[in-house]
Amino acid sequence: MRERHEVIVIGAGFAGLAAATRLATLGRSVLVVEQLDSAGGRARKFEDGGFTFDMGPSWYWMPDVFEEYFRMAASDVNQHLDLVRLDPSYRTWFADAPVDIPAGADAVAELFDELEPGAGPRFQEFLAEAEHKYRIGMDRFVRQPGTSPLELMDPTVLPDVLKLTMFSSLAKHVRGYFQDPRIRQILEFPVLFLGARAENTPALYSMMNYADTALGTWYPMGGMHRIAESMVSVASNLGVEFRFGSAVDSVISEDGVASGVRVDGDVYSAAAVIAAADYHHVEQHLLEEKYRRYDEDYWDKRTMSPGSMIYYLGINRRLPGLRHHNLFFDAPFDPHAHTIYDEPGWPEDPLFYVCAPSVTDDSVAPDGCENLFILVPLAAGLDHDEQARERLFGQVMDRLENHLGLPVREHMVVRHDYAHREFERDYNAYKGNAYGLANTLWQTAFLKPKMKSKLPGLFFAGQLTTPGPGMPPTLISGQMAAELTDAWLIKHVPVTA
């Protein structure tokens, strides 16, 4: 069987869905092929025992990026998602007592002033700079495809780039404003989603603190998977076609140009291909060697974001004390970070995160029950170790039960575990990574793997290329890849009547 479309997109995660939608708005015929049975990639769902679990992303930040996606498709995010702003945004659990982070910058400033006298006005100053970075960063930096360092040398861009404190670390930046270790930890934690220590993350990314406190933490009722489902609906209405359960065996070429993909012996022809699957997997396993830009040694030297040990739990009682988002900072981070970045191994006393969406959304758990998603950051590339998984689960549950003053394990009626092995199985994730490449200075912008392949007509999108990990960046990545592809088609593929 041979089918032909103008563009084939590999992967129906956020990057692939955004790429397909943008191409459709540009008038291109698009086919999306996805090896799994549903869309969303890491943002899928599964159900068990009356519980509905979001499998991956749980933080709805940077709402402007989602609004822009739907607006680009002549739609409105509020027609598709029932969004509620969380207040408090999240709860941080320290060794002595929990601290709730309220919704709104003024409320956060008041809280910080209570934790450290004088910190409130300094936070307003810090946040004003973070907003400036967000505006410049999103308009002039994040939305650059990273094809050349000259993007940052543009005389209309360079003055703004120099204001972004790219060459100072986030840790140094935060600690220049605040002394209280709790405030520092609260402001540095968002870089977990960028995959690196605050000491190794450019201070540019304090813009995430603006996204957190000013733009807010939101939740789509029904679950995070509703985002991907809505994107499929939008794309389908624009004429995008989908093939689920279709693993790509190879990217094929003709006369040195990408010409489609092979799926279970069937050929799907196209004038161009966007690979929104794992970059390493596509290059090393789906492309002929002569078209690979990066070898295994290159990938092995990259600084990967952490992997994740995730426990999905169904609890047959409510757990007073939990908020929707809960960050457990009750142990020192340095020993945990050492096992992630310096000497990869299983941590002994880790920081961890608990999402309890049933606090906000009754639809994700049976009446009187709690839906828990527990995540422990781990080093990428760890070997599967069932005993280590179980030991880690015990450590986390001991601390959770101690903080809540409640039994949790004896009320557990559903449990599923998910880590490196499962990330590799389901997403072909390099070293079982959860987020992609770490956003260190030397893996930022044009220093990331290129969106343009060595094989003409093939483009990459997703968390291993520009702009980086996270739902909003991958949405932007997909749209940029679509625009690069469209420009290439205009230049290289003649229009036929």
- The domain locations on the chain are 2-46+60-81+222-302+437-492, 106-215, 305-427
Architecture in CATH for domain 305-427 = 2-Layer Sandwich (3.30)
Distances (CA, A) of 179 to 123, 240, 318: 12, 52, 37
Q: Which amino acid is at 190?
A: P
Q: State how far the Cα of 385 lies from the Cα of 362, in Å rounded to an integer.
A: 35
Edge-to-edge strands, sheet with 325-328: 98-101, 90-93, 325-328, 352-355, 370-378, 307-315, 412-418
Q: Does the model's pTM come out above 0.75? A: yes
| Per-residue pLDDT, 138 | 85
Fold equal for 2-46+60-81+222-302+437-492 and 106-215: no
Residue 69's Cβ-count burial label (10 Å; 0-12, 13-18, 19+) is buried
Q: Options 1.10.10.10, 2.40.160.20, 3.50.50.60, 2.60.40.10; which CATH number does 2-46+60-81+222-302+437-492 get? A: 3.50.50.60
**Can you give the pLDDT at residue 190?**
79
DSSP three-state, residue 268: strand
Backbone φ, ψ for residue 8 (5° rounding): -110, 130
Beta carbons within 8 Å of 25's beta carbon, 6+ residues apart: 72, 73, 74, 238
Please tell us whether the domain made up of 106-215 is placed in CATH 1.10.405.
Answer: yes
CA distance linking residue 70 with residue 75, whole number of Å? 5
The token duo for 122 is 């300094």
68, 302, 355 from 390: Cα distances, Å: 42, 29, 20
Sequential pLDDT tens for the chain (497 residues): 556 899 999 999 999 999 999 999 999 999 999 999 999 999 999 999 999 999 999 999 999 999 999 999 999 999 999 999 999 999 999 999 999 999 999 999 999 999 999 999 999 999 999 999 999 888 777 777 766 665 566 666 566 666 677 678 999 999 999 999 999 999 998 776 666 788 888 888 899 999 999 999 999 999 999 999 999 999 999 999 999 999 999 999 999 999 999 999 899 999 999 999 999 999 999 999 999 999 999 999 998 888 999 999 999 999 999 999 999 999 988 899 899 988 999 999 999 999 999 999 999 999 999 999 999 999 999 999 999 999 999 999 999 999 999 999 999 999 999 999 999 999 999 999 998 888 777 777 777 899 999 999 999 999 999 898 899 999 999 999 999 999 999 999 876 54
